[in-house]
Each structure stands twice: as C-alpha cells, then as structure tokens.
Amino acid sequence: MKRINQILANEDYIKYLSKNKEAEGDRIYCHHDIAHFLDVSRIAYIISLEEKLNVNKEILYAMGLLHDIGRWMEYESGIDHALASKNLAEGILLDCDFSETEIQEILTAIESHRNIKSTSVLGDLLYRADKLSRNCLHCSAIGTCKKFQNKEVPVILY
C-alpha cells in the first residue's frame, strides 16, 4: 500500500480534501471526505474479493480515494464532479508511481462512477461501492434526501 500512502500524503490531494470540506461546511447530507473515500475503497475491495475479481488492492484504493476529489469544483462552477475528479486525479496518480495502464483504468472508473451501466469492471465496482458506502440508517437528513424520495428503507450490506 506504498502508493496509497503516497496519495494520502500528496499535497494536491490534501488541498482537494480541504476544498471539499470547505465547500460542504453547511451541507446536511453526506460529505465527500476521507471517511467516505476509505469506505468506498474498503467496500470495493470486499466486493472484489467476494466476486473473485482479482483486482489489485492499490488500484481499488486509489480509485476510491480519488473518485470525488473534485466535488468542490461542482459546487463552484457546475462541472460534473466525476469529470473534475478524473482530471485532478491524473496528476496525483502520476506523482504516486502508477503505470500508464493503471492510470487509464482508474481514470475511466472515476469518470463513469455515477453511471449505473459502466463499461469497465472497475467502473462497476466503484459505482456499487459508492452507493453502498453511505450509512443512512440514522441520518437526520434522510427525510429530504433524494436517495429516499420514494420512502425506500436504508439497509447496511457492508
């Protein structure tokens, strides 16, 4: 997990986490912070083990840690945060010794992580892990959350 720790110590990564925190200071819904990123990473890893997908753990953690780092840009300019995150993640991945092939796989997953029908195994894993990562059971904002607009009942799977 050497490269994952490099991501976590990367100056740009830390700056983007801070920008997300600032942009979501008054947000009553789920935040896009390190806790969410780690939850997504760990759930993606669990699913990959359960389904015997044989995906490298560092790849899963990298996509989980980076998939929402551009959320602040969506608040500021309206750009889709998946695209913003993809663009911001590329430099970090280069700085942290990921290969060109790994970078392209991770960036493709990040860019498509909001689409239920992904064109890649990683994109599908990221989509599912992202949705499953939220602890909605005792959320005080569940009554107005778009995830539960049809009175769905939250459950925990991971």
Residue pLDDT, tens place only, 119-136: 789 999 999 999 999 887
Name the H helices within the chain: 2-9, 11-23, 34-50, 57-66, 71-77, 81-95, 100-111, 121-132
Using left for φ > 0, alpha for ψ between -120 and 50, and beta otherwise, residue 54 falls in left
**pLDDT value for 1:** 96
**pLDDT value for 134:** 85
Sign of the alpha-carbon dihedral angle for 108, 110, 111, 112: positive
Domains and CATH numbers, the chain: 2-148 (1.10.3210.10)
pTM score = 0.91
Share of the chain above pLDDT 70, in %: 100
